Chains A and B, each alone.
Chain A
Amino acid sequence: MKIEKLLNTMSIINHRKIFFVLSAALVLGSIFIMLGFGLNFGIDFKGGSSLEVSYASVRPDFDATKASLDSLNLGSYVLTPSGNLNYILKTRDITPAEKTTILGALSMDPANLAKEEQFNTLGPVVGTQLKNKALLAIAIVIICIVLFITFAFRKVSTPVASWKYGLATIIALAHDVIIPTGVFVTWSHFYGGQIDLLFVTALLAILGYSVHDTIVVFDRVRENLRVDSKGKETFSETVGKSVTQTFGRSINTSLTIFLALAALYFIGGESTRDFAFVLLVGVIVGTYSSIFVASPLLVTLEKLQK
């Protein structure tokens, strides 16, 4: 059974409008979800404190713990159970001395003391700065990659200018960043999860992977254009052929990365689970976009010239 036979060389390119509509719907849906549910920033980006405690034998009653915390002057706070024996407390940014008081309040039973597992605190100004820094990092990565692609494809300026390869890549990139964010926001709305530095790291890794994947397909277009220098094929035929030729590789590479990430997701521990989840979504979307979005876009860009 040959995948190439199942997929007629031209079927992806000819049906590109279907994929464009699907992708546009997913992107718009993700944006609506982000606006609707709101982005739940972690303390990395908005400041505040997070204290995780564990208990040796049994986690004390939720309401009793809340009552004990209410007696302190914490303002609004969020207390969530975590694992079997832990609580995570999120508050405004507190001083180390206040933390000691809170630990006391959490240890209502002297025989079952709260043990500090993790404590982070960040001023609100620092959080805003980190957020700007993360946005800047994403912007600079995108600009540099487009410049690089324009440079790498400078010799293939016919029939489509090399910067248009860059343009198609950016659109695919935006697609690959927005959809996983939308999925993550939906997931975190129901299961909890925050937009923090690790999330941004995951998005940046998706950017890297998505470009990597797109370049492999575009490279094949570049090669096929060179082989067919006399121009016997139309541009859309060349792109269709290139997509089909790289199809097996794209699927297999995604599969290996998928396997590694699935292992990270299922057994990699709590601290990288959300990270692995975002990356898993990103790898699927990234593979999809280089085949079904970026390459057909090249054809559309070529048709627009006429």
Chain B
Amino acid sequence: MLKHRVLSIFLILLAIGIGFFVYKTNKYPFRLGLDLNGGTELTYRADVSKIKSGSVVDAMSSLRDVIERRVNLFGVSEPVVQVENPGLISGTSENRLSVELPGVTDINQAVALIGKTPQLEFMLVRPEAQNLSQEELRNKTIAEVFVTTGLDGQYLDSARLDFTSSGGSQISGQPLVAITFNSEGRDLFAKITRDNVGKVLAIFLDGQMISSPVIRDAITDGKAQISGGFTVDEAKSLVRDLNYGALPVPVELISTQTIGASLGQDAKTSGVKAGVVGFALIVLFLILWYRLPGIVASLSLVIYIILSLAIFKLIPVTFTAAGIAGFILSIGMAVDANILIFERTKEELKRDKSVHDALHEGFSRAWLSIRDSNISSIITAVILFWLGTSAIKGFALTLGIGVLISMFTAITVSRTFLFAIVPKTESRFKKFLFSNGLHI
């Protein structure tokens, strides 16, 4: 009994400590889903038909990285970019990418932000345009002057900022962009340069010619330099766009979802209010019906809520309207374990056992049904999490975590508290305190 009392005090202090952490810490904020915070979710379908089947996963993860970097560049706070893999289980045969942008409610801006792809192209000057004067060139379209080589940004491996070295006719220290092609690009580049020595190979970015070097020799190492009279900043941003810009697979927007900030705010405040009122009603019922054990159950329920919130913060679990609903449901299930135990204790008390023995029996006999019923809830939560879309996942996660934590609080914590206050001597009044319902 002393052991239980010491442990109880320790548990209460621990809960207060964790509660303080949940309340105070800003390092791990609650993550709110778009439906509570306002924002935009965009879902893209990736066209992987040109990718070899073995490397689709790689292509998708590099697509995710590219889009994530691009989103980050625009300073959206906590964007979530996720690949949704196809397969029998997920019910789709498509490769999808979902992008959540909290706080962004202008879809046009968001779509533009993600869809921005710098187009890098290498073009040869047409032989007939070779000798035209500047004046004449100005009146021609790009297609009239240049012929495409098929070499473009998709063959790019990487780009980096470099500076011209001294020597030759160059001024040293000028910024330039050094690019490296991938193996296919290297072969193509080698072929183009070998066949066109002495001609101009113009480099276009987003349809603008930025450099027009003359091919002096065949280049076989797959390296090229773009020197377009850049400032250091221009060269830097070109390097960034080239590295992060080219999407490895083409994407198509298939679904969008936008929720205004005020609507989200309403859902949030009313969800929290419902939680508080629901909790108060449950506590009222527990204390009125189960008396002293009801108070203990309410205390474990408070600890349950504190622990859950702490874990939601740490993982972090994104709260959505469905997630809050899942949490409220899990509160009900958490109480169920205590109800099972107390009802069982009452039965044992009726068989004229002492309060202490009745409690013991209550806990040990209720355990099996708590275990099996909770396992079935966990199975449900796992399947939902595995199959679900983001809204269902939020529900499954809060429910699953809730059930697991409730196994600890409703059993271990309640048990410790109850055995800490269980009376040594029996009396009618003490039996009344530990009994429940409208009768004794």
Contacts and interface: CB of A to CB of B under 8 A. Distances in A.
- What DSSP secondary structure best describes chain A's contact surface? helix
Contacts of B399: 205, 208
B105 A215 contact: no
Given A259-B282, A268-B271, A117 B263 contact: yes
Interface in A180-225: 197-198, 200-201, 204-205, 207-209, 211-213, 215-216, 219-220, 222-223
B384 A137 contact: yes
A120 B257 contact: yes
Contact of B270 (A2, A208, A246, A268): A268
A267 B347 CA distance: 37
A122 B329 contact: no
B324 A272 contact: yes
B170 to A, nearest CB: 47
B222 interface: no
B326 A271 contact: no
Given A120-B258, A205-B399, A197 B391 contact: yes
Contacts of B257: 119-121
B407 to A, nearest CB: 13
B380 A248 contact: no
A99 B91 contact: no
Nearest to A119: B258
Between B105, B270, B365, B374, the greatest number of chain A beta carbons within 10 A of the residue's beta carbon is seen for: B270
Contacts of A144: 379, 383
Interface string B358-387: 000000010011001111110111011001
A208 B330 CA distance: 11
B325 interface: yes
A222 B372 CA distance: 12
Contact of B376 (A148, A249, A267, A279): A148
Contacts of B438: 1
B314 to A, nearest CB: 24
B238 interface: no
B260 A116 contact: yes
Nearest to A136: B91
A207 B285 CA distance: 25
Interface string B254-280: 111111101100110111011101110
A33 B135 CA distance: 78
A135 to B, nearest CB: 9
Contacts of B251: none
A264 B328 contact: yes
Nearest to A204: B384
B228 interface: no
A269 B267 CA distance: 6
Contacts of B43: 126
Given A207-B380, A271-B267, 12 more contacts: A52-B263, A117-B263, A140-B387, A141-B379, A152-B372, A201-B388, A201-B395, A248-B343, A256-B285, A256-B286, A271-B35, A276-B325
Interface string B275-313: 101110110011001000000000000000000000000
Top 10 A-B pairs, shortest CB-CB distance: A133-B91, A269-B270, A257-B332, A263-B278, A268-B274, A219-B369, A260-B278, A208-B380, A117-B260, A259-B281
B439 interface: yes
Interface residues of A, number: 75
A255 interface: yes
Nearest to B258: A119
A96 B369 contact: no
A137 B387 contact: yes
Nearest to A131: B91
Task: State the main secondary structure of chain B at its contact with A.
Answer: helix
Contacts of B369: 215-216, 219-220
Interface stretch (B7-15, B123-131, B334-342): B334-342
Interface centre among B255, B285, B395 (most CB of A within 10 A): B255
Contacts of B258: 116, 118-120
A272 B271 contact: yes
A301 B333 CA distance: 30
A261 B269 CA distance: 16
Interface in B23-37: 35
A204 B376 CA distance: 12
Contacts of B328: 260-261, 263-264
Contacts of B391: 197-198, 201
A256 B285 CA distance: 8
Interface string B429-440: 000000001110
B346 to A, nearest CB: 8
A125 B380 CA distance: 27
A253 interface: yes
Given A204-B384, A260-B331, A130 B389 contact: yes
A121 B266 CA distance: 22
A120 B325 CA distance: 21
A215 B336 CA distance: 13
A234 interface: no
A99 B107 CA distance: 10
A6 interface: no
A129 interface: yes
A216 B160 CA distance: 65
A262 B340 CA distance: 22
B376 A145 contact: yes
Given A120-B257, A198-B391, A212 B263 contact: no
